[in-house]
Structure 1
Amino acid sequence: MARIPDEELEQLKRGVDLAALVRSKGIELKPHGSKDLVGLSPFTEEQTASFIVTPGKNLWHCMSSGQGGSVIDFLMKHDGVSFRHAALLLKEENPQLFGGKAVTKATAPKLAAPVAFDGDDQTLFAQVLDYYQERLRQTPAALDYLCSRGITGEAVEAFGLGYADRTLGLRL
């Protein structure tokens, strides 16, 4: 499985506003002390707010469940998606578009499918090939690898080379 580069993960953890993401999930946050925000935990049934968000560090901690982490960890726990899926959702989607109410596992935001499911086999195969070719164009590390092996851009285009980074399954 293709790894998500550490730099991208760090950029997501720093760049996505955790408080905005939490609010987009319908969790009301109020000031708590001078630096933190507090709200009712989306992970437990509680009457007293114990879900702490620290905007300065972009981290959260649920006092009632003992869990915490970054924006990726929050999205994984809240929407019931894998680490990779959560990272791709944060990378490709604006958190304010995730919806304003609590989301369950069955209604987690989906990535757009790159194929038309009503097409015949030949059409679907062509769409999958196009998807992998586009993934290659968008993955500098894969292009650098091909270049290091003496495979030029002309060869990539002439032979229709692509990069199967295992993201197609997340989109289907």
Structure 2
Amino acid sequence: MRFDTKALLKLMKQSWRGGGVKIQRTEHRGLWDSFFITGAGWALLIPKENCPGEIAGQIVTWLADMPKIGESKWVVKGCDPQDIPEDDRTIDISRYTTGNYETGMACLPLCTATDALIQYGADDRAAAFPLDAFAVVQAGANLGFLDTEAGIACWKDEDAHGLFWLCDNAGNVPQDVLDAVKHFTPQKH
């Protein structure tokens, strides 16, 4: 599966206009020079060498330069980039990378005005992901896995070796909508 670069760029800009985007350049597990980018309810880890030009270009635009390995910045519209304290950097990365992503998901043929609904588990439970963020992985929605305890789903871009995470938003979806999930058969891709 490949992430939708246009949807990812749109999501990054939406987060930048809202609560901001955190951009870290790190050596992921000592192997890859990578970008770790987070916004509200989503995160992306991608090797620098495989990062789409549009995404790298946006990073350079916001930071006025390519960040060095070990640098971490928070960017938000109308403000200068701010350094992220070391403790916050570690928390952000471990929140997403230490999960137990093993529960498969299936895309459903219904959504709310703001969220895509995904079915998982033997008892047909539902996760919900904001449509703008879900657009990044929609083409391979059934290829993701959920950490049911943390409420975070993960997808992998096989070509770019990138990982994309979304936080489950089901707590903001009416219960009758979540109950309706039990009456649907997942879409086959």
Category of TM-score, reference length = shorter chain: under 0.3
Return the structure number with greater helix share. 1
Q: Normalising by the residue count of structure 2, what TM-score does the alignment of the two structures yield?
A: 0.25
Structure with the bigger RCO (C-alpha within 8 Å, sep 6+) is 2
Return the structure number with greater strand share. 2
